[in-house]
A and B are shown apart, each in its own frame.
Chain A
Amino acid sequence: MSSNTPAPSSTGVSPSTANANAQDAAQSANPVDRLVLEYLRARGHKSAEAALLEAIESGSTEVSGNTLSSDDLIKGLAVFAQKPSRPGENVLKDSSSVLQELSTMGNPSSIQTLIASLGTAGAEEILSLDPTDKHEGFRELESWVEGSLDMYKPEFLPMLFPIFCHFYLDLVQKGFKEAALHFHATFSPSLAPTHNVTLHHLSTLMLPSHVQNDDLAQRFRNEKYVIRMSRSGFSLLIGWLTEGVGGETPGAGEGFSGEKGKRGRAAVMRVVNNHLRFDVTNASATSVSPNAWEESTGLLSSLIPAIAQPNGSSAVPNPHTFNTSKGELKLGPAPTSEELRAEAERILREQAMLDRDPSAQYDAHFTRPQALPGIVSPTEADLLPHPPSFKTIDVQREVEKVRDARKRIRLDPSAMSSVDMNSTQSTSARSKALPSICAYTMHDVGEGVPCCTFSPDISLMAAGFSESYIRLWSLKGEKLRGLRSDASPDVADSSGVSRLLEPDGSNTRKLIGHSGPVYSLSFDPLGGSAAPPKYLLSGSADATTRLWSLDTMTNVVAYRGHQNPVWDVQWSPMGTYFATASRDRTARLWSTDRTSALRLYVGHLSDVDCVRFHPNSLYLATGSDDWTARLWDVQRGTCVRVFIGHQGTLSALAISPDGRYLASAGEDLAINLWDLGSGRRIKKMTGHAASIYSLSFSAESSLLVSGGADWTVRCWDVRGAGSQVKPHENGVDEPQTLRPAEESNETTDLLATFPTKRTPVINVHFTPRNLCLAAGYYLPLEPR
């Protein structure tokens, strides 16, 4: 609560007025006092007004300069403190707690009584109103962190950011706009560049009401900011903070000098006490990797769902404890029914006989899902309900899956690690490790193509446009035929169906139905790579998800339920179900035959930007604007894993086909690789120079391909360990294209970069045979 805007309900001289007076005394030239005086006059508090004027005069005459010792202030204020009426509760919560703290610290009894006589108008609060202490305090803290030993620096540095935020918010809330701006301008450049987004957001808050209404500011206010620190580091910090209470140590260098310094340190301590929470670990400071703070620092308590813990809520929120508390996941491949498998095997054997290919009959083992050691496979009962019988298309899909597995191009990124890239073997190593990428470039796209996707059998490509329509292309050069407009549905015989279709189609087809940009498309996976898909799902800014039949080329269903734009939509791997992610902070599970959602996945603090199913369809991964990714139990609707570590909005997700890894890309331009089982981050891969739009794993899960707004497609080694520094080498054709700015942050697991010509890559897609497809749109040189 600010001092110059007292609660209108208060009668008499409210304590906040007294605060204002005191502060005026401290800064006689402050424009605030004019406001207060006017206020008092309007309210008719004559005595208070007179006293205030007196105080201003005395302040300006007796004390030269604009600082006052606390004792003087308190004495001066004692007069007003005699007649406090009922204060606004929320105003004084903080000050009363401060009082309690003070009293426990064992101050001289005279001060204690004085403070007690002050009642709710806390002296500490009066002091805290002086904006200079924040400035001073932060400067001291920064220089202390800078001057600390190198081994502690990585631990202390994350602490600067929350303290900065709180100081800034304090200043804004108290109405010191200029001081806040000055504070921001002075210190924000020195903070880690990863916080840029938040710092920018904070800089837009300039009035107390903004702080009241802004989500982020309220999260800072109401939640504890968790910082992980080693035991020794923490005790050093405590030592530095408390030193001031007992007076300055001699020879402390710059240290905190005088009253101002002491109050600065007190301000730091206030933030530390009220808003920070230290997760003290026994690990030594040196064993922590430089990026580790990302996972365990921040406003974690609301990001991590509450878990019933026997020891109460005292535990420091930690994603790992949450993840382990959720138990083991069933990450193995989904079971296929015995009959389906038998049928697929029979067909495979027949085919092998027909083709006289004796080796083909050993393929049958591919039909049995290979469970990796240490991973639990789900049983039939775990799966989402689905029809018990199987159709021809299911068999075809299973058979094709086996063929794909056999004809797959094996990609082995480890081949590249052992070979010197300058030697002659490098070409053969590259061909073993890296995929062939076919790029589909769209031209003349108008206002933009938010999404583009390939059907699982690569017979179709669909793109959603900002102009609210969807366009389908046949990649095989076949005609796409829709339903005739004059068709009558009463055709009994099977030949009639083809008569219902248009006599001639074209290679491309426009699907119109949405009333906002189409942000996401998904082809139904039922046909697998064996047959063309029958349905297409699209999510749009008009908050609907639409189902399109590719037989008739018409919109079949519109699923309404989301309140805000639908950012992403994806089919479950077995069809029938699909999931959507929306700006309304929820992800939802739908079944195609119902128009309302089956499950709501609620817990993200901001937009849910992307959604991906686990290959066995038991789990759903979501990525959000709150910088986290989560894994949900699809059936129960509960969050089972939280992935904290990105320093920006998540833009893309991918789960590896073997079901073990989650790759997430964020606006911090990093790709994080997570182990789904433990919920821990395996590594952080950097190298992209702009937003990453799409991620895709190769069929063996050994290679990750990413495409982004920096007009490149990049290949990453999933298994190899990545490290920061790397002698740059990308192969024969690279050197001309390198921009020097890019080289700095590439990790060693970046195997190759393939630049395109002014084409942001909006989708990358691995076929089951490990051919990589990339889609993007060409940016003409001059904007139209």
Chain B
Amino acid sequence: MSKPGPKPKSALSLHAGIYKADAVKDVAESLGITSLSETVASALASDVEYRVHQVVEEASRFMRHARRTTLTTSDIDLALRTLNIEPLYGHTPHASTTFRRALPFPNTPSAGTVYFVEDEEIDFDKVLREEKIIIPKGVNWTAHWLAVEGVQPLVPENPPAVPREDAAAPPSAALNGKSPQLGLAKSQQASAPQTQPNQLVKQVLSRELQLYYTRLTSSLLPPSTAPAETAKRTAALASLRADAGLQALLPYLVKWIGEGVVSALREETDAEQEGRTLEILLDVTSAILENSTLFIEPYLHQLLPSILSVLLHASLPSSHAKHLRTAAAQMLGRVLTQHSTTYPSLSPRIMKTLLVALLGNTPTAQSTTSTTVNGFAMDTSGTPTRDGARGPPKPLGTREGAIRGLIGIGKEAVRKGILEGGGARIVGEEITASRVESASGVVEAVMMALDTLQPPSDMPETLDSSREEDARLIAQLRDLLGEFFTSRVVSRGDRGWAAGLVASVST
């Protein structure tokens, strides 16, 4: 790479090499030799060229050993020194200083000629108005993962540069190599390159994709019921669901969803508006999940908090609450079925989050645990705290969401949460304690969960508390579900079903 290959010389430059005889003659004339013959000049030119090549060849060795691909003046100096020739001083790779001769002093002729460095005049006004030049701190280093188990993580330091907001890539946590500098690397990674990646975003996304992104997000939100808008939204969702080549946009979309969910839940807006916004955001999430051309796995840890936020939020607008929770729960189930094989820690983590949300005793305790226990950076944590501060009513909404989530995950999760974990009992106690009328959602969710656990029998047979057998069953149910839901179950009047519920725990 360093040396130029031999350029096929054209027939025009046949007479000599690169260094022409004319140049030699010019030099000779400057030295006062006027009668230099053609042959001497051409021989000298050839020799000069050879010597120059010798120096350059030597200098290129210094360049190579300096691990550079450009030849600098210092390489030439070192080469000259090695060849026992005096170096050419005064040539630096940077702009050299120029000296000017001062006008002679008429007063003191003894001072001789005076030279001075010609300084550029700097206009402070102009300099101050211009943007600041940052002076580099000197040599420093940063560390990042170039590859993690053979896969190049998509961190800003790596060239494909689909930037990701948080540097904590999930695989790096699983890395078991001996890496004392790991922690340091992380901190470096977080702090130092902050300035770089932000600029890079623009370079990475093509103009078309940027345009697509703005169009897409503007057509989706804010929600409006105008028929034209609805049609646009449907088209946008269809495009998200099926179009290929959106991989580069994925981090932005995921972030957009996350921010949308948080702002919709935080801000005290009109309930109707909020519900519709969340609905659309869920639609977008499901569209992304359905798109088979997208490689969603690295972004799951960012996407899940949004879904869980919708699912577990305490006070969703009542008109949409049920639909939103059901949709979020279904999506959760979908994510789990699709990705739990390749992302083994996914389902335990979600389970844990849901169980904490369901079983956490008081809202405050719940809020703390939910931040620490689950593996994801949850946005929900703030919401229950606010509810907790307000005191009762307890966030039955969160519990309902958790139950629906468990239903979405599957039968086993329901059994663990509702029956074995005592979810139903806690919910029941709370309902009786708070005497809230609006608890119908929770009750319905619990009953649905029980339904998934054990399908109701075709020919229901009423329970008779007077019968010893049934009384025992009811006692068991009471142990299992608590007072409130036992009465519900009993009132359903289906013995086979109730027995099945009890049996499902004991097996």
Which A residues are within 8 Å of any B CB, using their own CB?
31, 35, 177-178, 181-182, 184-185, 188-189, 193, 196-197, 199-201, 203-207, 209-210, 404, 407, 409, 424, 427, 430-431, 433-451, 458-459, 461, 463, 465-466, 471, 473, 475-477, 516-517, 519, 529, 541, 564-565, 567, 583, 607, 609, 625, 649, 651, 667, 690-691, 693, 709, 713, 715, 731-733, 736-737, 752, 754-757, 760, 762, 767, 769-772, 774, 783-784
Contact = CB atoms under 8 A, between A and B. Distances in A.
A441 B178 contact: no
A203 B49 CA distance: 10
Contact of A691 (B1, B43, B179): B1
Contact of B150 (A199, A430, A477): A430
B158 A461 contact: no
B440 to A, nearest CB: 45
B9 A476 contact: no
Contacts of A715: 150
Contacts of A769: 177-178
Given A185-B11, A206-B46, A466 B6 contact: no
A201 B5 CA distance: 10
B3 interface: yes
A476 B184 contact: yes
Residue of B65, B149, B150, B159 with most partner-chain A CB within 10 A? B150
B235 interface: no
B143 A438 contact: yes
B74 interface: yes
Query: Which residue among B16, B53, B68, B175 has the maximum number of chain A CB atoms within 10 Å of its CB?
Result: B68
Given A565-B78, A649-B64, 6 more contacts: A201-B57, A436-B149, A436-B177, A477-B184, A519-B65, A713-B147
A450 B67 contact: yes
Given A541-B62, A771-B177, A756 B146 contact: yes
A203 B50 CA distance: 9
Contacts of B256: none
A699 to B, nearest CB: 11
Given A709-B67, A757-B159, A583 B61 contact: yes
Contact of A439 (B65, B138, B145, B151): B145
Given A407-B178, A516-B78, A567-B65, A440 B9 contact: no
Contacts of A459: 180
A441 B145 contact: no
B150 A434 contact: yes
B234 interface: no
Given A436-B177, A732-B295, A446 B147 contact: no
Interface string B183-204: 0110000000000000000000
Nearest to A709: B69
B430 interface: no
Given A200-B6, A733-B160, A178 B15 contact: yes
B140 A443 contact: yes
8 contacts: A184-B6, A206-B16, A210-B50, A517-B78, A564-B82, A737-B160, A771-B177, A771-B179
B435 interface: no
A516 to B, nearest CB: 7
A662 B154 CA distance: 34
A200 B4 contact: yes
B506 interface: no
Interface of B: 1-6, 8-11, 14-17, 39, 42-43, 46-47, 49-50, 53-54, 57, 61-62, 64-70, 72, 74, 78, 82, 93-94, 136-152, 154, 157-161, 175-181, 184-185, 295, 342
Contacts of A713: 146-147
A177 B177 contact: no
Closest 4 CB pairs of A and B: A434-B150, A430-B150, A431-B149, A204-B53
Contacts of B185: 438
Contacts of B78: 516-517, 541, 565
Contacts of A444: 136-140
A564 B160 CA distance: 43
A134 to B, nearest CB: 16
Given A185-B14, A444-B136, A447-B72, A207 B64 contact: no
Contact of B144 (A178, A439, A458, A517): A439
Nearest to B192: A443
Contacts of A449: 67
Contacts of A197: 3
B149 A430 contact: yes
Contacts of A404: 178
Contacts of A607: 61
Contacts of A35: 39
Nearest to A434: B150
A18 to B, nearest CB: 22
B14 A458 contact: no
Contacts of B175: 436
B143 A476 contact: no
B46 A207 contact: yes
Given A182-B14, A204-B53, A434-B149, A709 B46 contact: no
A732 to B, nearest CB: 7
A754 B146 contact: yes
Contacts of B157: 439, 441, 756-757
Contact of A177 (B46, B66, B150): B46
Given A438-B145, A441-B143, A771-B177, A731 B150 contact: yes
A450 to B, nearest CB: 4
B64 A438 contact: no
B67 to A, nearest CB: 5
Contact of B8 (A185, A430, A436, A463): A185
Nearest to A198: B6
A118 B317 CA distance: 118
Contacts of A200: 3-6
A590 to B, nearest CB: 20
Contacts of B140: 442-444
Which of B6, B136, B137 has most A Cβ within 10 Å? B6
A713 B16 CA distance: 43
B67 A448 contact: yes
B37 to A, nearest CB: 10
A447 B93 CA distance: 9
B189 to A, nearest CB: 10
A178 B45 CA distance: 13
Nearest to B44: A207
Contacts of B15: 178, 181
Given A436-B148, A757-B158, A441 B141 contact: yes
A286 to B, nearest CB: 31
B146 A774 contact: yes
A693 B69 contact: no
Contact of B66 (A440, A441, A517, A752): A517
Contacts of A477: 184
Nearest to B63: A448
A651 B64 contact: yes
B82 A583 contact: yes
Contacts of B74: 447, 466, 517
A620 B10 CA distance: 47
Nearest to A201: B57
B2 A691 contact: yes
A203 B64 contact: no
B160 A440 contact: no
Nearest to A563: B82
A195 to B, nearest CB: 9
Of A210, A436, A651, A771, most buried by chain B (CB within 10 Å of CB) is A436
B1 A709 contact: yes
A437 B145 contact: yes
A449 to B, nearest CB: 7
Nearest to A205: B50
B139 A771 contact: no
Contacts of B141: 440-443, 461, 473
A533 to B, nearest CB: 15
A739 B93 CA distance: 31
Contacts of B54: 204
